[in-house]
Each structure stands twice: as C-alpha cells, then as structure tokens.
Structure 1
Amino acid sequence: MNPIRRYTLPAMAALALCATTAQAAERWNLSAEQPDGNYITVTAREFAEDVNKATKGEVEIKVHSNSVLFKRQEVKRAVQTGQVQVGDMLISFLGNEDPIYEVDAVPLLARDFDSAWKLWQASREKLAARLEKQGIKLLYSVPWPPQSIYTKKPVTSMADFKGMKFRAYNAATARLAELMGAVPATVNSGDVPQAFGTGLIEAMITSPATGVDTQAWDFSKYYYDVKAFIPKNVTMVNARAFAKLSPDAQKAVLAAAERAEKRGWELARAKTDELVATLKKNGMEVGPAPAAVEAELGKIGATMAEEWLKKAGADGKAVLDAAKR
C-alpha cells in the first residue's frame, strides 16, 4: 500500500466528517415584532438561547426584533415560503383569513389570564391544524396584557367616541371601533406616536405593554382599564425547515417552545400591573371605564361574539364550548 495514501485516507475521512458536521448545523432567523424591551421579544430571545443550548449547536437561532425583517402583515407568508425560518406575530391579525385565528380578539370572551389560557387550550389544536396545511408548524404563544382604551380627551359615555379616529390593528379591533361609533384607522404599534401626532388617530385600544413601548403619555392622557380581551402573539416555524432537523433536535426545539410558552404566560401575568403603574407614574390618568361605557362594551361584546360564531361555524362553537369547561 502506498504509505502516503495510508495516512491520507483517514485524514480525508476526518475532513469529510467535519464537513458533514458543519452542514448539519442549522442557522435560523427569527423575525420578532416587538422591540427588545418588550417581554414577548425577551421570551423569543430566551427561546433562541434555549434551543441553541438544548441542540448543542445543531440549531442556532438569531432573533431580529422590532419587525426589522418583516412587518406584521408579511410574517406568515415569509415563514410559509421560507424567507425566514421562524416568525412571531399577533395571530388575530390573520382573522380575515380564518375566524379561528381571531377568537382571542373577540371582546369580553376572556378578560383575565385564567380565561385566556382556557381559550388558548380550546383553540390551539384547530389553529395549529390550519397552519400545518400551509406548511407552518406552531411553536408557542405569549399573551399580551388585557387590552384597554387610551384617549386624548375624557369620555363619560360611548357617545363620546362617535366620529373619533380610533386605531385598529386587526379586523376585530376595526369592527369594535365601528360598533363604538368611532372611525377605525389601521396603524402598526411602532407608528402609533406619529399617528397620534399627525391626527390620524385620537384614541386606541391596546395593551399597557404597547402603551409603555410607545410612551403613550406623550400623546394621550387617559387610560381606561377595561380589560376587553387578551390577544396573543404566536411563534411559528417553517415546516420544511423543522423537518430537516434530526429527531433529537426536533424534540429539543418543541421542549424549548413549551418552556418559552410557560415563561411568556408567567411574564404577562407578572408584568401587567407593573406596566399599568408605569403609565400612571408618567402622568396618565388611570382608572376603570365609566359605567355607561362598560355597559355598552358588554352589548358590543355580545354582538361581536355572535358575529364571530356565524363566521367560525361548528369549529367556533366547539372552541367556545371547550373553553367553558
């Protein structure tokens, strides 16, 4: 045997093994909607670190916050087509595509985290099945704090909202604004300060987290803590990218997603009062909605629940029935 070949073959085999190992490492990008200080993005970063460690480098996830890669309306399509492997977005934004996606944005169905969790458990399987048909795998959810109303001027009844330019961020909040007598205007969270400043909107319903992120005290004065509903962001992965992983890595990613969901829901509970306190500390007048507004919201919630059930059909009824158990 040629002595050179005797030593070269093992070396070549070692090089081939290294090359195979290097190719096995999957480098994913995660498009996150919110800025770094938002606890939903914090959860995404912790998820990425968890996956990196749990898979021992087989999967490396880089988080891109504040919608720098894709805007909310682009995220699902980007994940579906593989432009980005992982995406985080407000799931109710997809309500026009399928009503199951927006069940958590129907006012008054779930106004506290216990109810919101039951609603999520009741709807998760159906939501995941719809995403799966489109080449997307559901990983985990993180809820927003309860959605409440911000205004520049005080309100005493629902009539005060008539003609008011009201921020909407999905079909459900646009419908809510209409039923309140307001005029909906679609505005992404990052554009809220400018929209208030230019007069595009005069009021909004959103979480105290978005209020703090956008420094709402600079452009609005009143925070009515109506806790109308609790929407969620959902983190999803391209199914083909997930299928390429080894079985062990797949299990590790799903286990990390389960831990991320647990942390995210715990953070939402812990942060809500703190965020409302920050609004008050910075000069906003914080309090419950006037009784007349609360009463009208109850009627609006009933109307929207009925409308949603008509759209969602048997699947929608099954979700609501399961959430009540």
Structure 2
Amino acid sequence: MSLIKRYLAPLALSSMVLAMPTTYAQNITIKVIGQPLATGNIQKNREQPFFEQLAAKTGLPITVEYKPMDTLGIKDTEQLRVMKTGLFDLVSLRFSQNSRDEPSLIGLDLVGGSPDYATSRKAADAWSPVLDARLQKQFGIKLLGHWPFGPQMLFCKKPITQLSDVKGMKVRVTDQIMAKFLESLGATPVPMGFSDVHQALSLGVVDCAVTGPSSANSASWTEIVTHQLPLGFQMGFNGYAISLKTWTRLKPDQQVKLQAAFTELTNDIWKYSEELYQDALRCNEGKDPCTTGKKFKVITSPVSPADIKLVGSVVDRLSFPAWAPVCDKTNPTCSADWKKAVGPILGVK
C-alpha cells in the first residue's frame, strides 16, 4: 500500500463514522411541562418523582428537565399550542382545558359519562387510540397514557343541598360541555383556569367551582367554600404526550421501555386517584382518617337519587348532542368514531 493510501484509509473510515447518524448514541434532553403545583398530591407524590427518576429507572439515554406548568408562566389552556411549537418535548396534558383546540379530548370525559372509576376506565381506554391518532395528526404528539384526578364535583360558598340550588349562581367550569350542563340548571358558567379560582371565590367572582376534592383541598378552596356536593360530573382527565420528533429519536426497544414506564405510572395514578378521592372528602369535612390533606370544616351535602339519575341521563340527552357537532366540525368522523368505540360502554346508540 502506498504511503498516501495508508494515510487516506483511516481518514476515509473516520469520515464514514462521522457521517453515520449519531442520534441514538447521544443523550437526549426531554423538556417536560408538568401539572400545576397547586393541583396537589398527584403532581407532588406521583408525577414529579416519576420524571426525576425516569432516566435511572429505564436506563434510557435521556436527561429530563421537568417544570410544573405554573412555574413556567404557561396557561393550562395553551399546552397543545406550546407543544406544536416544539419548545417542549413532553406534556402532562390537561384534557378539558385544551378541548377548545382539540374537541376530541372531551371524548374521554363527557359530562355524565363517568358514574364510577371502572366504567370511566373502560370508556377512556376505548377512546384513547382514536385520540392518539388525532393528536399525532394535528399536533405532532403521541399519547402515552391517561389518568383522572377523580370525580369532578361542586364546591360552593353558599348552601347547596341539591343540583337545582345552583340556579342563579356563577360557577367555574373548564369546558363548554360542562358549561352547557350548568346552564341547563339555571347557573351562569364562568370558564377559568385552575390557578385563578381561589381568588375568584374569595372576591365573589364565582359562587361555586368544579374540581376534585383533593385538588380543592390542596389549593385551599376549602378555606373559602362552605359546602361540597359529592356527585361526580366528570373525571378530570389528564394524560402524557410526547412530541413525535422526540419519540422517533429513540430506537424501537427504547420506545418500548419508555411506553412501559408511562403505562406503569398511569396505572398507579388510577389507583392513587381513587384513594385520594375518599380521603380528601373526609379531610374537607374535618374527619378522620385524613392522611393526604389538611382538615377543614366543609359541609358535605347528601346526594339524592334524583340527582344521580339526572346526571346519568346527561350523556345521551345533552353532553353527546352538544359535543358531537363541535368535534365533527374539525374532524368529520369524530362522533361516529365515538359511537362505535365508546357508545356501547355508556349505552349511547
């Protein structure tokens, strides 16, 4: 071999190595939008520790930069738009709050469609593949899992003994379908982000607000309100979605590991959510055992069979008819897909 060839051969090999894709060998930084700190125990005890330990647990070549949403100055209604810009790689997505940008998010959580955790899980699991395909197409993000905060119920500054008592009251809501339901009861719905509710209740901007009992406790709504009505309208769904750009930077086996980690997390949150719901109801009343929140002196109003029946009739009578044309406007097959996937579970034909 000539002297020139002896020097050129290693250089050529080096050039080939440099020219090969290096994505898989490099560490990937994943910037995460987390749940607001104010939402409480699920964010604090499940979500944040999960992301802090994700790299070590999975062995993936990732560095996770996790920031709760209320420390970023991002509104919970802007998550999909922010993800579409590519500024973040993964989001703890608040479904109802982002439903104006993507109405199919409400398909997991129509008002009246979650009489219990088991039924809610079946309906959500049935709809999630359709939702995942939609999010990938419209926003370039892949759904990794979903979970509920738990039954979303009324908290009021005024006495409330039955649903009809909200007539004439101003009630904080998170989506248009809930707004239509409350309007049908004679209330005035007020769309509002979670972080603004405490002040709005204090100043009398709203008389009541809808959330789960654990979130109400964590955000100290329960130091202002006097009554809670433990009748769930929705489940307060959230989920995790990763940008397709970040997802495709992982090898197939790495994708499997990441998906498995999120499946384990969301399964755990489903169980934890139900535990928190029961404990928070007791904490809000000032009863024992109270292990996950602070004790307050909120009055729990009994739920009447008539109100249970009323909420149970809402999906077929109001929620689906109100949601279907909104979702079909942006996705023509939306309501038909929902009827096929979720309708049999909730008895909607």
TM-score (norm 1): 0.86
**Residue type matched to 1:116 in 2?**
S
Residues 210 and 54 (structure 1), Cα distance of their counterparts in 2 relative to 1, 3 Å cut:
closer
Task: Write the deviation string for residues 5-27 of structure 1: whole angstroms up to 9, x where unpaired.
Answer: 9xxx9xx99xx9xxx69971011
Which residue does 1:25 correspond to in 2?
27
Give the Å deviation of 1:47. Answer: 3.2
Matched, 1:60 2:63: yes
- Kindly indicate whether the alpha-carbon contact (under 8 Å) linking 2:108 and 2:237 is maintained by their aligned counterparts in 1: yes
2:51 to 40, 48, 52: 48
Question: How far apart, CA to CA, are the structure 2 residues paired with 1:82 and 1:267?
Answer: 32
Task: Write the deviation string for residues 152-204 of structure 1: whole angstroms up to 9, x where unpaired.
Answer: 11134544322211101122222222122111112211111101111111002
Task: Write the deviation string for residues 7-55 of structure 1: whole angstroms up to 9, x where unpaired.
Answer: xx9xx99xx9xxx699710111111122174314533224324530244
1:303 to 298, 314, 317: 317
Question: How far apart, CA to CA, are the structure 1 residues paired with 2:324 and 2:79?
Answer: 28
Which residue does 1:275 correspond to in 2?
280
Residues 229 and 288 (structure 1), Cα distance of their counterparts in 2 relative to 1, 3 Å cut:
farther
- Kindly indicate whether the alpha-carbon contact (under 8 Å) linking 2:110 and 2:320 is maintained by their aligned counterparts in 1: no
Alignment of 1:3-152 (within 5 A): 24-35=26-37, 37-56=40-59, 58-69=61-72, 70-134=74-138, 135-152=140-157
- Kindly indicate whether the alpha-carbon contact (under 8 Å) linking 1:95 and 1:172 is maintained by their aligned counterparts in 2: no
Residues 105 and 181 (structure 1), Cα distance of their counterparts in 2 relative to 1, 3 Å cut:
farther
- Kindly indicate whether the alpha-carbon contact (under 8 Å) linking 2:92 and 2:238 is maintained by their aligned counterparts in 1: yes
TM-score (norm 2): 0.81
Residues 302 and 204 (structure 1), Cα distance of their counterparts in 2 relative to 1, 3 Å cut:
farther
Number of aligned positions between the proteins: 316
- Kindly indicate whether the alpha-carbon contact (under 8 Å) linking 2:24 and 2:251 is maintained by their aligned counterparts in 1: no
**Residue type matched to 2:29 in 1?**
R
**Residue type matched to 1:284 in 2?**
V
- Kindly indicate whether the alpha-carbon contact (under 8 Å) linking 2:112 and 2:313 is maintained by their aligned counterparts in 1: no
Question: How far apart, CA to CA, are the structure 2 residues paired with 1:114 and 1:98?
Answer: 25
1:285 to 299, 309, 314: 299
Question: How far apart, CA to CA, are the structure 1 residues paired with 2:155 and 2:36?
Answer: 20
- Kindly indicate whether the alpha-carbon contact (under 8 Å) linking 1:40 and 1:264 is maintained by their aligned counterparts in 2: no
Question: How far apart, CA to CA, are the structure 1 residues paired with 2:199 and 2:323?
Answer: 36
1:265 to 262, 270, 277: 270
- Kindly indicate whether the alpha-carbon contact (under 8 Å) linking 2:30 and 2:63 is maintained by their aligned counterparts in 1: yes
1:226 to 207, 231, 242: 231
Q: Secondary structure at the match of 1:24?
A: coil
Percent identical among aligned pairs is 22
Point out where structure 1 has 5 or more consecutive residues left out of the alignment. Answer: none
Question: What root-mean-square deviation, in Å, do the aligned CA atoms of Structure 1 and Structure 2 show?
Answer: 3.0
- Kindly indicate whether the alpha-carbon contact (under 8 Å) linking 2:30 and 2:64 is maintained by their aligned counterparts in 1: yes
Question: How far apart, CA to CA, are the structure 2 residues paired with 1:158 and 1:257?
Answer: 37
Question: How far apart, CA to CA, are the structure 1 residues paired with 2:183 and 2:211?
Answer: 16
Question: How far apart, CA to CA, are the structure 1 residues paired with 2:24 and 2:167?
Answer: 61
Which residue does 2:341 correspond to in 1?
319
Point out where structure 2 has 5 or more consecutive residues left out of the alignment. Answer: 287-295, 326-333
Q: Secondary structure at the match of 2:36?
A: coil
Question: How far apart, CA to CA, are the structure 2 residues paired with 1:27 and 1:42?
Answer: 23
Question: How far apart, CA to CA, are the structure 2 residues paired with 1:34 and 1:298?
Answer: 30
Residues 141 and 220 (structure 1), Cα distance of their counterparts in 2 relative to 1, 3 Å cut:
same
Report which structure shows greater RCO (CA 8 Å, sep ≥6).
1
Task: Write the deviation string for residues 49-96 of structure 1: whole angstroms up to 9, x where unpaired.
Answer: 453024435112122114322221121122222111111122123333
Residues 78 and 306 (structure 1), Cα distance of their counterparts in 2 relative to 1, 3 Å cut:
closer
- Range with bigger deviation, 256-265 or 303-312: 303-312
